[in-house]
Amino acid sequence: TAGITQAPTSQILAAGRSMTLRCTQDMRHNAMYWYRQDLGLGLRLIHYSNTAGTTGKGEVPDGYSVSRANTDDFPLTLASAVPSQTSVYFCASSGGASTGELFFGEGSRLTVL
Amino acid sequence: GQNIDQPTEMTATEGAIVQINCTYQTSGFNGLFWYQQHAGEAPTFLSYNVLDGLEEKGRFSSFLSRSKGYSYLLLKELQMKDSASYLCAVKDSNYQLIWGAGTKLIIKP
């Protein structure tokens, strides 16, 4: 079982360009999340989705948007990248917002120059 | 505000025991998680505590005291492969996870 797949694994992006990080899960989990991880800081929630068709803002949503058209896919879009968005991005899923542990994708390392 | 505190880095010897502490202040409590993260990899689930007491799982144990806002992860019989970061996270009243910055554990032979 693949679990959660993220793409790309790494990307260098010019400031001002747009970028979509893809995330697909095959566990039929209801809840999905996007986090960023920066050195010295805990994982910070960008956006989440408790079920297909719904999304919510996390702790650091500015500059990012998400959609949840179906259960399996949860893409994260940077409309106009800035250097402060240089980070490692993790997609995660769980059986429900109030239940169970998170399963993480392998991460996408994004560098904005 | 909500806050999770854990030591930045710890060093221990192969074969020994190490305890990684985590203190938290959150709006509500719906469980505490420990995750392991090797360098360059994704976090993986280790343990979950929602009631006070000790949960044992092989070489790893996790303890929770809700009244003290305190948890620890105990690793026994340390192996070199245990070198990793250990992340403490608490689910708040909205069922959102609040994460600590992680404790980098260095195992020396």
The tens digit of pLDDT for each residue in B5-39 reads 999 999 999 999 999 999 999 999 999 999 999 99
Q: Does B75 touch chain A (CB under 8 A)?
A: no
Contact B46, B35 (CB under 8 A): yes
Q: Which residues of A touch B42 (CB under 8 A)?
A: 90, 104-107
Contact A94, A48 (CB under 8 A): no
Whether residue A106 and residue B42 make contact (CB cut-off 8 A), yes or no, is yes
Reply yes or no on whether the pLDDT at B94 is more than 90: no
Q: What is d(CA A45, CA B89) in angstroms, rounded to the nearest whole number?
A: 12
Reply yes or no on whether the pLDDT at A31 is more than 70: yes
Mean of the per-residue pLDDT values of chain A: 94
pLDDT of residue B59: 96
pLDDT of residue A99: 63
pLDDT of residue A15: 97
Q: Does B29 touch chain A (CB under 8 A)?
A: no
Beta bridge partners of B104: B9, B85
pLDDT of residue A18: 97
Q: Does B89 touch chain A (CB under 8 A)?
A: yes
Q: Does B84 touch chain A (CB under 8 A)?
A: no
Mean pLDDT of A23-30: 95
From the list A40, A58, A104, which residue is nearest B101 (CB)?
A40
Whether residue A101 and residue B33 make contact (CB cut-off 8 A), yes or no, is yes
Whether residue B99 and residue A43 make contact (CB cut-off 8 A), yes or no, is yes
**Chain B nearest CA to A15, separation (Å):** 24
Q: What is d(CA A47, CA A69) in angstroms, rounded to the nearest whole number?
A: 15
